[in-house]
């Protein structure tokens, strides 16, 4: 009868493949019924999200809910689409939901959706902001090895960790950069391994390490000459993807003056 309180379950669909589900308690004056479609909200996915009332049960008594005093809980989140904020990629998987609650009716709920390792950086959600979990399949993180060739005989090799959305594959050739050698340098992806899980890498959050440097050409800056030898590499690291790495390449006695390198500046060893 009118005035009784109700239990209801609902789905909020962002319109891009993401959705979350939950339940709530409110007054029967809300007028909810099974199969009802409610509201259309613009959200960060550039789509319009909507609520669907999946099930309604009249409790037969009054628990004190009224008007906007409607408690909303979120029980599950499905990450099925990119959220267009530049963070991560869809995992096509259900998430662990924390603090998924609101107290003022549909639209007041919010929470945090995590992958199985709680490593995703884009966890917050409400009916405007979607979450990305990157927990399985597309969105796994990868290990890859690479070579950067200056084009003059110098090169360095290393490895990195990033999101599978980078699209790297073994044998791939990437980018052509002008550098101080008056040549164009390029990256080659030598090997890629899908880790099968998410370590939290996303977008430009890609760690790059340099493990070896080969001095096979003059660098045309007027300092030293090629040694045709491998160097000892120090601090060869970058945190924003290929092109952010840099380091210092030394000969065996650490006596070379032209040690700094990145993908523009080459190093010279000269014993």
| pLDDT(135) > 80 | no
More confident residue, 165 or 226: 165
Q: What contacts 248, CB < 8 A, 6 or more positions away? A: 233, 234, 235, 236, 259, 260, 261, 267
Sheet holding 71-79, edge to edge: 36-42, 48-58, 5-13, 19-27, 71-79, 93-102, 110-114, 124-125
| pLDDT(271) > 60 | no
Provide φ and ψ at 29, rounded to 5°.
-65, -10
Of 12-16, 170-174, 202-206, the one with minimum mean pLDDT is 202-206
Residue with tokens 């096979």: 216
Q: Using CA atoms, how far apart are residues 267 and 213, in angstroms rounded to an integer? A: 9
Give the pLDDT of residue 51: 96
Q: What burial class does residue 173 get, using C-beta atoms within 10 Å of its C-beta: 0-12 exposed, 13-18 middle, 19+ buried?
A: exposed
Give the pLDDT of residue 46: 82
Bridge-partner residues for 141, per DSSP?
Answer: 163
| pLDDT(202) > 80 | no
Confidence of residue 31 (pLDDT cuts 50, 70, 90): very high
75: nearest Cα among 6, 9, 5: 9
Confidence of residue 86 (pLDDT cuts 50, 70, 90): very low
Give the pLDDT of residue 221: 52
Query: Three-state DSSP class for 166?
Result: helix
* Percentage of residues in the chain having pLDDT higher than 90: 39
Enter the pTM of the model.
Answer: 0.50
Residue with tokens 């924003």: 240
Give the pLDDT of residue 201: 81
Confidence of residue 228 (pLDDT cuts 50, 70, 90): low
The pair of structure tokens assigned to 42 is 């613009």
Confidence of residue 267 (pLDDT cuts 50, 70, 90): confident
| pLDDT(87) > 50 | no
Q: How far is CA 245 from CA 93, 126, 193, 242, in A?
A: 33, 37, 20, 7
> What b/e sequence results for 143-168 when a residue is b if at least 16 CB atoms lie within 10 Å of its CB, and e otherwise?
ebbbebbbbbbbbbbbbbbbbbbbeb
Give the pLDDT of residue 189: 95
Of 40-54, 137-151, 169-183, the one with minimum mean pLDDT is 137-151
């Amino acid at each position: 009868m009118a005035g009784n309180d109700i239990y209801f379950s609902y789905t909020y669909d962002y319109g891009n493949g993401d959705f979350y589900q939950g339940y709530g308690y409110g007054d029967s004056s809300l007028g909810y019924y099974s199969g009802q479609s409610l509201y259309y909200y613009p959200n960060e996915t550039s789509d319009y999200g909507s609520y669907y009332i999946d099930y309604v049960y009249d409790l037969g008594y009054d628990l004190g809910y009224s008007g906007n005093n409607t408690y909303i809980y979120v029980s599950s989140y499905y990450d099925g689409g990119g959220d267009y904020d530049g963070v991560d990629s869809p995992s096509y998987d259900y998430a662990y939901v924390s603090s998924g609650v609101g107290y003022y009716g549909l639209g007041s709920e919010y929470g945090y959706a995590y992958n199985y390792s709680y490593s995703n950086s884009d966890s917050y959600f409400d009916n405007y902001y979607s979450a990305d979990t990157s927990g399985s399949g597309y969105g796994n993180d990868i290990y890859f090895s690479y070579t950067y060739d200056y084009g003059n005989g110098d090169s360095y090799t290393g490895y990195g960790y990033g999101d599978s959305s980078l699209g790297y594959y073994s044998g791939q050739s990437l980018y052509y950069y002008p550098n101080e050698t008056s040549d164009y340098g390029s990256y080659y992806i030598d090997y890629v391994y899908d880790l099968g899980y998410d370590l939290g890498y996303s977008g430009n959050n890609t760690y790059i390490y340099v493990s070896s440097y080969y001095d096979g050409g003059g660098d045309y800056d007027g300092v030293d000459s090629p040694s045709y030898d491998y160097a000892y590499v120090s601090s060869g690291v970058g945190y924003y993807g290929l092109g952010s790495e840099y380091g210092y390449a030394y000969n065996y006695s650490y006596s070379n003056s032209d040690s700094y390198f990145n993908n523009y500046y080459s190093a010279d060893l000269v014993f």
